[in-house]
Structure 1
Amino acid sequence: MKTFCGRANPTSGALDWVEESEEYDYHQEIARSCYADMLHDHDRNVKYYQGIRAAVARVKARGEKVIVLDIGTGTGLLSMMAVTAGADFCYAVEVFKPMAEAAQCIVEKNGFSEKIKIINRHSTDVTVGPDGDMQMKANVLITELFDTELIGEGALPSYEHAHQNLVQEGCEAVPHRATVYAQLVESELLWSWAQLQPVEVEGARLAPLPDVSRCAGAHSVCDIQLSQVSPLSFTPLSPLCTMFSVDFSKPVSSAFRSHSSQFVAQSGGRAQVVLSWWDLDMDPSGSIVCTMAPSWTYPQPKMAPWRDHWMQSVYFLSVERQVTEGEELSLTVCHDDYSLWYSLRSHSQQDPQTDALPSRPCCTCQAHLVWTRPRFGELNDRRRTENYVSALRSVLREDSVCLGVSDGSLLPVFAHMLGAKKVYSLESSRMSKQVIEQMLEANSMKGGVELLEIRPEQLTTNDLGAEQISVLMGEPYFSTSLLPWHSLFFWYCRTALAGLLRPDATILPCSASLHMMAVEFQDLWRIRAPCGTCEGFDVTPMDEMVQRSLDFHESREAEPHPLWEYPCRALTQSAEVMTFDFTQCLPQRPISCQGSLPFIRMGRCHGVALWMEYHLTDDITVSAGLIGPISEQGECEWSRHRKQGVYFLRSPWESSGDGRAAVSYSFTFEPTSGDIKMDFSIESQ
């Protein structure tokens, strides 16, 4: 039986009906997950195996049979470690059915099926007894239920239920404990992701919404590769604080908790951001430690293990405050069963009887619901704003009638400030419209921009006061975009609005171009590397069926990644491979191009990086990819505001850098679907 699901096409804006059959390959969902990254995490695997062997040995030393409960078994790796270490039996719980089926195949292939039972349930539904899923309670509890925020995957409720129902009192736990650390910092870079800064346009100041500066912001954690945030971009105001620990060998509570750490400010500045990460002690003595600390905390940063399934967290204080060196302060972390949040107080002003703990952050200004954190950073990028203002200044006239097509954009506001006769803006959502309305009102510009919550194809001359558009502008930015070329939705809008444009209308940007280059990734390649074996433990974790699906390249698709977080080296020159002329309507026929780029640097080519550049005018270009020249060694600097596209090659290619080999490419843009089909191959001379 086949069913169809309606999905909005991010490029064309159309509603596509996608066929979904009962035979849908969920292994592709596994392929897109972090399983490959975890299996390649040598540090994690070694530390887990060491902790498991030690726990099994402690139980055996007491003369007991070792019965293991592995919650969230995934591929079954930790269960196989336990049996290899001498466990008598292991109950491996996995709620995701396709993954449980894969784990069953993997366990059987490695000869562990007699000692490992895969249970396809949520752990809170598992029963113990003669007719239950488990014959007896376990005396060793093994879990990998953690995310970047430690508890975001429901670790606390799962542990709470396990201790009440599934494990013996005084059980061994691997990991034994987790400890959360935090550091208070001032950082213009990080703070730009949370609050809108004032903007200068032609000597006038566009002030941010007062409600935004008082808002606690988005409730979701900001998880990033903090190793890629240079210590030069922030000033530590506190030492590294130990906030709290959780002992997993004892009953765990998922109830609300708060923990405070008192410290003396080590420097003065604006308290804005809290950096946070955690450690896992795999044994009670704390001699086997798996840490999430960023690389710049290591004496030798290059020795830090890389992982993408666990990163570091950035938390934003609801309001920045000035602190002075030597001031006594208290940093408080609160958590419910799934989230953490932080607050700062002066130690001298605290009164336990009257000071209420802050509730979980929740956006009250709507701006944090309209703009993502990278989008805040983009809006706060002064150089980028100057480019757009310069481009607008060069095309606007006193009689200009402007129409903006982007989501939650400030371009229409800039056009009004630059003296356009009339400015309209199409907004994709009511919430976005309300945020821009509030900004206009806060800056006494109400009525300066007319906001229209309407689709481009529905717009008529009546909506424009019977006038025609002389300047159609966009950044372009759309909240539905995932891949770089999804912003070509602007072209579809421009085509739908063709009948409302003056014959001499200016389109800004006038064109866009797709760029590419072959790259060697420092670490990102691990997330798509084959998983025939597991680093740090001698088993074959993937059967052939699962391995084929984990070889994500079978789909032949690019995927979005913020490359500023994932360093890479350019092995070829960068090249403009396709151009999209916005001054013309969308073509009826596909656009195709082919070519090749010779390898000019030695290295291992893992794939191709792809990005868009927007040509606002003939001489002003804004890049959503590379933002500086490539160094002699091939190092690249990437925009932090947008994700770039990455196309992983089926197998890495060793480049000698002598130009005798090249990456050949073929691109086809399909106007009817909005897709860009691409193919790459390596050719040697």
Structure 2
Amino acid sequence: MSAFCGRAKPSVCGFDCVAEGEEYDYHQEIARSSYADMLYDQDRNKKYYEGIRAAVAHVKARGERVTVLDIGTGTGLLSMMAVTAGADFCYAVEVFKPMADAAKCIVEKNGFQDKIKIINKHSTDISVGLGKDMELKANVLITELFDTELIGEGALPSYEHAHRNLVQEGCVAVPHKATVYAQLVDSELLWSWAQLQPIEMQGTQLLPPPAMGNCSGTHSVCDIQLSQISPHSFTLLGPVCTMFSVDFSKPVSSAPQSYSSQFVAQTSGQARVVLSWWDLDMDPSGTIVCTMAPSWTYSNPKMAPWRDHWMQSVYFLPAPCRIDKGEDLSLTVCHDDYSLWYSLQSSSRQHSKGNMILPRPSCTCQAHLVWDRPRIGELNDKVRTESYINALRNSFHLSLYWRSGCGDRCFSGKARFPALQVLKEDSVCLGVSDGSLLPVFAHLLGAKKVFSLENFSMTKQVIEQVLDANSLRGQVELLDISPEQLTSKDLGGEQISLLIGEPYFSTSLLPWHSLFFWYCRTALAGLLRPDATILPCSATLHMVAVEFQDLWRIRALCNTCEGFDVTPMEEMIQKSLDFRESREAEPHPLWEYPCRALTKSSAVMTFDFTQCVPQQPLISHGSLPFIRSGHCHGLAVWLEYDLTTDVSVSVGLTKLIGDQGLCEWSRHSKQGVYFFRSGWETSGTDREAVFYNFVFDPNSGNVEMDFDVKSN
């Protein structure tokens, strides 16, 4: 049976309704899950096993029959651990049917079908009694209901229901307890993701809207691999504070709560950012601990376990405040049943009423809803902004483009034509990006007239706030219209002499989705002057073969897992990874995931924005020799934009460090990653190479790719 599924085409701002098999959603859920990452998390698995053995032994020591309830069993791994540890029976609950089916196969394959019952329900729908889901209440409760924020997957309501309805009084829970920690810091880098900063240009400042500076931002957590933020990027203002703990062996409440921790400021600074993580005590004695602490808290950072299904959290205070060394402070965390938020007070001003729930931050300026955190960081990037300003003020040579016979890339003959100025006094500019400040830059740099297409009403309102904050209302005309609908009348009879874009579009996921700019340029061809300048004038697709330090784990398969045979799960993951959609590149912010370049970075395809989108596909094929030895896990792919023939901006690889080829990536964008099903060991000789084939389909705007590793 087939079903019709909607599929976005961000590069062309289109949408298709296509027929897919009935297992389409199932394959996508599995392929993009973190099951492989969790199976590979040996630290997690070991600590759970030790905690389960301690819990089973404790209940047996009381002379009781051990009945286990495992909520969110996934593969059934924790249930099998419990039976191996001596549990008499286990009820394993899994709401996702394909996963429940896989767990049943795994349980049977390992011979535990007589002692483990898989229940394909949400735990809150389970009934207890003779002939029902569970015959009796459990005295051991095992769960893995946590996310980076600890409670974001509904752990508290699930525990609350379980204690009321599914487990006995005095049950032993694994994990036994969770503890949340926080540390107050000052960080220009992290704060640049929260608030738009003034932008210096032409001897003046472009100011952010006052409403944004007075806004507490969104309450959503910023979850990142905090280990990849250098301690040199922030100043510690206080010690690590223990904020609160939840004892899972006792009744749990999902009601809103608040907790405070008092401390003395270690240094003076701007209090703006809170770093947070949590630990799990697997047993009541607290001797078996699974910690999410970042690596720089370890005496030996290399000993920190890596995991991607649980990371660390960054929270931004509702309003920054200046604090002095030695000042008595109180850091408060509040939570509802799904999220946390922080606030800071001087101890002398701390609320006298104990458990007061402070208001949860919410965006009132709309800017935090229009610009996500990486985008705000991108707008605050001074080097990037300077590149665009220099390009607008620059002179450049008209380029002669030609394509080589195999279509590998384009070249430009800069010396053949005279230099032209990008922005002139009579320039009529049109900006095509989402929520971009480039049109404002063009006006401040002296353009005669500036228009900007803003199709989203909220985005338009935010840019209007920027214009108002700088007394520029009316100087840049914002048009709520698509490129296809734009007419000369909308432009006051003018023709466009300068088309500008970053390009940035909120619907883009993969790098080439921003080629939507090219389609806009094509739709606007009739409104462009014959000598119109396009900025950027081209984009180049780059690739490099890499060895990941850890990211490979999210798409890898393990042969054993704590001694249990989980091949049915591996087969399910493999089947999903082999599914058509999952064979494509996927977006990842590679600055969070260290890797080494095993080949040179190479430009493999160029998109010439000075021309319209071609009718025929663009094809590029060739090979990239290995220059370093290592285990090649896949390819990283990104775009670099030629703003002019002399100024370029990369949204991918920014630097290679040292002889080992350590990669430094843009923090503001996600790069495309194509994982090989199984990696290749390479000796780094030029006899081995990655053979590639890229096809750009102008109808869909998609870039299809295929790779192989061979010896020359």
Q: Which range, TM-score by smaller chain?
A: over 0.9
1:582 aligns with 2:609: yes
Equivalent pairs counted in the alignment come to 684
Aligned-partner residue type, residue 197 of structure 2: Q
Give the secondary-structure state (helix, strand or coil) at the position aligned to 1:647: strand
Instruction: Tell me which residue corresponds to 1:539.
Output: 565
CA distance in 2, matches of 1:683, 1:355: 64
CA distance in 1, matches of 2:456, 2:353: 44
CA-to-partner distance for each residue in 1:31-54, whole Å, 9 max, x for gaps?
210000000000000000000011
Give 1:238 deviation, angstroms.
0.6
CA distance in 2, matches of 1:543, 1:62: 36
| The one of 416, 427, 430 aligned to 1:403 | 430
Give the secondary-structure state (helix, strand or coil) at the position aligned to 1:439: helix
TM-score, normalised by the number of residues in structure 2: 0.94
Instruction: Tell me which residue corresponds to 2:408.
Output: none
CA distance in 2, matches of 1:275, 1:544: 35
Give the secondary-structure state (helix, strand or coil) at the position aligned to 1:628: strand
Question: Cα RMSD (Å) of the superposition?
Answer: 1.4
CA distance in 2, matches of 1:630, 1:353: 54
CA-to-partner distance for each residue in 1:537-596, whole Å, 9 max, x for gaps?
433253564142254587421010000000000000000000000000000000001111
1:267 aligns with 2:275: no
Give the secondary-structure state (helix, strand or coil) at the position aligned to 1:397: coil
Instruction: Tell me which residue corresponds to 1:150.
Output: 150
Instruction: Tell me which residue corresponds to 1:226.
Output: 226
Aligned-partner residue type, residue 665 of structure 1: Y
Is residue 75–residue 541 contact of structure 1 (8 Å, CA) maintained in 2? no
Instruction: Tell me which residue corresponds to 1:628.
Output: 655
Instruction: Tell me which residue corresponds to 1:119.
Output: 119
Give 1:649 deviation, angstroms.
1.1
Instruction: Tell me which residue corresponds to 1:309.
Output: 309
Give 1:4 deviation, angstroms.
2.3
CA distance in 2, matches of 1:630, 1:267: 33
Is residue 258–residue 355 contact of structure 2 (8 Å, CA) maintained in 1? no
Give 1:22 deviation, angstroms.
2.7
Instruction: Tell me which residue corresponds to 1:548.
Output: 574
1:646 aligns with 2:663: no
Give 1:532 deviation, angstroms.
3.3
Aligned-partner residue type, residue 427 of structure 2: S
Instruction: Tell me which residue corresponds to 2:411.
Output: none
Aligned-partner residue type, residue 568 of structure 2: M
Instruction: Tell me which residue corresponds to 2:44.
Output: 44
Of 100-109 and 661-670, deviating more is 100-109
Instruction: Tell me which residue corresponds to 1:296.
Output: 296
CA-to-partner distance for each residue in 1:430-469, whole Å, 9 max, x for gaps?
0000000011011100001111111110111111001110
CA distance in 2, matches of 1:429, 1:354: 44
Instruction: Tell me which residue corresponds to 1:519.
Output: 546
CA distance in 1, matches of 2:17, 2:166: 45
Give 1:651 deviation, angstroms.
1.2
Aligned-partner residue type, residue 279 of structure 1: D
Give 1:657 deviation, angstroms.
1.1
CA distance in 2, matches of 1:538, 1:17: 42
Of 56-65 and 616-625, deviating more is 56-65
| The one of 695, 700, 704 aligned to 1:677 | 704
1:239 aligns with 2:239: yes
Give 1:428 deviation, angstroms.
2.7
Give 1:107 deviation, angstroms.
1.2
Give the secondary-structure state (helix, strand or coil) at the position aligned to 1:433: helix
CA distance in 1, matches of 2:331, 2:353: 18
Give 1:356 deviation, angstroms.
6.1
Write the mapping of 1:270-289 to structure 2, written as runs, cut at 5 A: 270-289=270-289
CA distance in 2, matches of 1:39, 1:582: 45
Aligned-partner residue type, residue 444 of structure 2: M
Write the mapping of 1:233-632 to structure 2, written as runs, cut at 5 A: 233-353=233-353, 357-394=357-394, 395-534=422-561, 536-540=562-566, 542-543=568-569, 545-549=571-575, 551=577, 555-632=582-659
CA-to-partner distance for each residue in 1:234-284, whole Å, 9 max, x for gaps?
000010000000000000000000000000000000001000000000000
Aligned-partner residue type, residue 587 of structure 2: P
Aligned-partner residue type, residue 637 of structure 1: E
CA-to-partner distance for each residue in 1:624-677, whole Å, 9 max, x for gaps?
001124432110110000000110112111111122211111100000111111
Instruction: Tell me which residue corresponds to 1:55.
Output: 55
Give the secondary-structure state (helix, strand or coil) at the position aligned to 1:461: coil
CA-to-partner distance for each residue in 1:177-206, whole Å, 9 max, x for gaps?
000000000000000000000001111111
Aligned-partner residue type, residue 110 of structure 2: N
Is residue 51–residue 288 contact of structure 1 (8 Å, CA) maintained in 2? yes
Give 1:323 deviation, angstroms.
0.4
Could you say if the C-alpha distance between residues 677 and 684 of structure 1 is closer, same or farther in structure 2, counting changes exceeding 3 Å? same
Identity over aligned pairs, percent: 74
CA distance in 1, matches of 2:357, 2:148: 24
CA distance in 1, matches of 2:541, 2:163: 55
CA distance in 2, matches of 1:13, 1:351: 51
1:204 aligns with 2:204: yes
Give the secondary-structure state (helix, strand or coil) at the position aligned to 2:232: helix
Give the secondary-structure state (helix, strand or coil) at the position aligned to 2:434: coil
CA distance in 1, matches of 2:666, 2:351: 45
Is residue 596–residue 664 contact of structure 1 (8 Å, CA) maintained in 2? yes
Is residue 531–residue 547 contact of structure 1 (8 Å, CA) maintained in 2? no
CA distance in 1, matches of 2:641, 2:615: 22
CA distance in 1, matches of 2:392, 2:91: 65
Aligned-partner residue type, residue 91 of structure 2: Y
CA distance in 2, matches of 1:350, 1:522: 45
CA distance in 2, matches of 1:3, 1:529: 30
TM-score, normalised by the number of residues in structure 1: 0.98
Of 375-384 and 201-210, deviating more is 201-210
Give 1:372 deviation, angstroms.
0.6
Give the secondary-structure state (helix, strand or coil) at the position aligned to 1:102: helix
CA distance in 1, matches of 2:340, 2:467: 34
Q: Which runs of 5+ in 1 are unaligned?
A: none
Instruction: Tell me which residue corresponds to 1:69.
Output: 69
Give 1:97 deviation, angstroms.
1.3
CA distance in 2, matches of 1:20, 1:553: 11
CA distance in 1, matches of 2:563, 2:343: 42
Is residue 557–residue 570 contact of structure 2 (8 Å, CA) maintained in 1? no
Give the secondary-structure state (helix, strand or coil) at the position aligned to 1:464: coil
Is residue 257–residue 355 contact of structure 2 (8 Å, CA) maintained in 1? no
CA-to-partner distance for each residue in 1:600-637, whole Å, 9 max, x for gaps?
11111000011110100000000000112443211011
Aligned-partner residue type, residue 271 of structure 2: A
Aligned-partner residue type, residue 133 of structure 1: D
Instruction: Tell me which residue corresponds to 2:27.
Output: 27
CA distance in 1, matches of 2:59, 2:711: 59
Give the secondary-structure state (helix, strand or coil) at the position aligned to 2:568: coil
Is residue 694–residue 705 contact of structure 2 (8 Å, CA) maintained in 1? yes
CA distance in 2, matches of 1:565, 1:519: 14
Is residue 67–residue 140 contact of structure 2 (8 Å, CA) maintained in 1? yes
Give the secondary-structure state (helix, strand or coil) at the position aligned to 1:506: strand
Aligned-partner residue type, residue 501 of structure 2: G
Aligned-partner residue type, residue 538 of structure 1: F
Is residue 281–residue 287 contact of structure 2 (8 Å, CA) maintained in 1? yes
CA distance in 1, matches of 2:571, 2:564: 20
CA distance in 1, matches of 2:120, 2:356: 43
Q: Which runs of 5+ in 2 are unaligned?
A: 395-421
